[in-house]
Each structure stands twice: as C-alpha cells, then as structure tokens.
Chains A and B, each alone.
Chain A
C-alpha cells in the first residue's frame, strides 16, 4: 500500500480554457522528469465556475447521486 502524503497547493486556483494541471515526478536535484515513474488514478476536485455542464476532457466526470 502506498504511503499517503498531503502536500500544499495554491488557494483559489481558478483555471480557464487551455490551462493544464500536471502530475509528475521530478528529480530533487535537477528538477528534471524522472523516468520510470507511473501516475495512476488522478482525482481533481473542482468548482464549476462557468456553469452548465462541466467538460471533463480526457477525465471522467463522476455522476452525482441523483444522476
């Protein structure tokens, strides 16, 4: 089982079209991408500011209880 870790991120991160959130693994010394690391499930919790149906792009939108 993987170790659970909580890390800080900026507050009120308001993202519009064309911006990306990237999960990655960096070399602690050089900052370069470390080969061989895999990223499994990613869950983004967000508020839909634009209104209407949220566009999930390549991600899945989890249906609510009433869906």
Chain B
C-alpha cells in the first residue's frame, strides 16, 4: 500500500489538529509542519502530540532546543531521528541553564570572530557582573588558572585591572615566559603597570601572615626581583615617592626591622654593591648645599640627613657615637 500525503495549507493559531475520520486507519510515517513564531508571546518548543478520542494526550514529541519568541521553524517528525548534538559527548553549552557540568571541556578555535574585534575566543560581560575563572588547583604548572603564553606579546592585556589570588598557604604566583618570575629573560615576560590615578600602587599585600614578600626573582642572570627603571619607573612630573617600602608589623621582639628589611646577599664573584642607596640631585635653580640627598626619619622626626654636598647632619643636641 503506497504512502499518501495529507496536507493542510491553512494558517491557524496553534494548536492544529488532524482527526482521523470515519472508519479510517493510518500508519503515520512522518509529520511536517511550518511553525511561525513571529508573534509568539514567549519562548516555545515545537511539539507533536497524539490525542486520544477522549482528549487525553497520549504522547508528546518535542524539540530539545527552545525557540525564542520570534523564531520560526520548519519541523519534520520522523521515527528514529535523534538530535545530532546528543549523539556523543554531552549536549553543549546552553544559556540560562545551571548547572552545566561534565568530565571536561576543551575549546579550540582557528578563526576570528568578525563581530568582536577578531578574537578567536572572546568572553564579554556587558552587565557589570564580571567574569570569574575558578579552580580547585592543579598539581603542575603552579596550580590555579594557567595562562599559556606562546606569542611575542604579553599574556595578559588589562585595561582596568586584574585580580590574581590563590587560597591556601602557597599564595599567588605570577609566572612569565619559561616559568620565570617577573623580569625573566631579556625583557620582562610579565609587566604589571598600575595606571590608577587615585592609588598608584601596582602591587599590594593585604594581611600577609607568613611573608610580606610579594615580588621575588629566581633568574640566574639577575637575582633581583625588582631592578632598574624598566620595572619601577617614576615618570617625569609625577609627585610622591618613586619607590616606597612600607612595613607595618605589629610586633617583632627579635629586634631588626619591624617594618621592613633591605637585604642583599651577593654569594660569589660579585663586582657591584651588595646594597647601595644612591641619590642623584639636580641643582636647578638653587645651591646644592641646601638640597638634601638623603634623610632618615623616626616617626615624623627627621633625625639624620646627608646633604648633596656630602655634609652629614644629625638631630640637634645629639652626638655621633661609635659603640656597637
């Protein structure tokens, strides 16, 4: 017995029924329907239902994908059809769905997005809610969120700030090219540049109980974590301190700096200074003898100074004593 098509061309508001008439009996092979969602009051799923003579719904075959209001679809129902996205490996990322989880997710792109400045992958939050990358850690690569850098430009490009933090006792680590710390290689692999006008602090440690060291270097050529004007650059015309080290310890009964130490450790064959404090004084518009080269304060009281002409000056009434 050949199959026959039954067609209804009229457009009606959903639902649209075909009632098997009289003494008819048919085996349904497929159903195709043009669904116009241009006037839909909300999101919908196309559905094919079998209705019993008493009005009961015997089955409902629905689309796995929700159609947004305004979307139109041309749907064909076949026996044995499976949605392509569920053939293996999960059902893909969907909006407004929580939670979405699986064993793993790898995303690789080879092209650029023509709608978002040509990025291969772009995550954009326009609602002012931020973007979070969270992890419980990783045994290699330093743990945390790992940014793999293999280009000639910096791994991070930040316009308005970046917050890198890690839980546990290890603290947060920023690694540049070849896993070296800041300043590794011939040029800084990672540059941190604060441009905020209100607070020019590029790095700040909050409540560091174990160690207040927030910059450290392990490079063989230059063991200094911070060196040179390439990393700390006091721009011309700027006010305030070019480099400020401020310790705020509450108690240290062993003596040495409660606030902070300058500690030099030149281990072998060094030709330079272990620790050097140098002041270069410009003499524009005045006598150099009145320009202070260095000053030492205790609290708010200036107790010692070296003028730019090399003269030493102490607190009035105090003597210089050698008795250590």
Contact = CB atoms under 8 A, between A and B. Distances in A.
Interface stretch (B36-44, B116-124, B200-208, B308-316): B36-44
Contact of B44 (A18, A28, A42, A50): A28
B216 interface: no
A37 B4 contact: no
Contacts of B73: 2-5
Contacts of A28: 43-45, 66
> Chain B interface mostly helix, strand, loop or mixed?
strand
A34 B8 contact: no
Interface residues of A, number: 56
B8 A59 contact: yes
Most B Cβ at <10 Å: residue of A10, A12, A64: A10
Interface string B27-42: 1111111111111111
B27 A40 contact: no
Given A6-B76, A60-B8, A17 B24 contact: yes
Contacts of A49: 1, 25-27
Interface in B28-74: 28-53, 59-63, 65-67, 69, 71-74
B29 A47 contact: yes
A62 B63 CA distance: 28
Most A Cβ at <10 Å: residue of B31, B43, B61, B73: B31
A25 B40 contact: yes
Nearest to A35: B41
A23 to B, nearest CB: 4
A37 B35 contact: yes
> Chain A interface mostly helix, strand, loop or mixed?
strand
B74 A25 contact: no
A49 B66 CA distance: 35
Contacts of B29: 45-47
Nearest to B66: A28
Contacts of B234: none
A18 B18 contact: no
Interface in B265-317: none
B18 A8 contact: no
B220 interface: no
A33 B73 CA distance: 17
B78 interface: yes
Given A20-B50, A28-B43, A48-B26, A5 B14 contact: no
Interface in A38-67: 38-51, 54-62, 64
A41 B5 CA distance: 12
A46 B14 contact: no
B5 A18 contact: no
A59 B7 contact: yes
B6 to A, nearest CB: 4
Contacts of B53: 17-19
Most B Cβ at <10 Å: residue of A25, A27, A35, A62: A25
26 contacts: A2-B35, A2-B73, A4-B73, A5-B65, A6-B78, A7-B77, A9-B31, A13-B28, A13-B79, A16-B24, A19-B50, A20-B17, A21-B48, A22-B17, A23-B16, A25-B14, A33-B14, A33-B15, A34-B42, A40-B36, A47-B3, A49-B25, A55-B21, A58-B19, A59-B8, A62-B4
Interface of B: 1-9, 11-53, 59-63, 65-67, 69, 71-83
Top 7 A-B pairs, shortest CB-CB distance: A18-B53, A24-B15, A11-B79, A40-B34, A9-B77, A46-B26, A39-B16
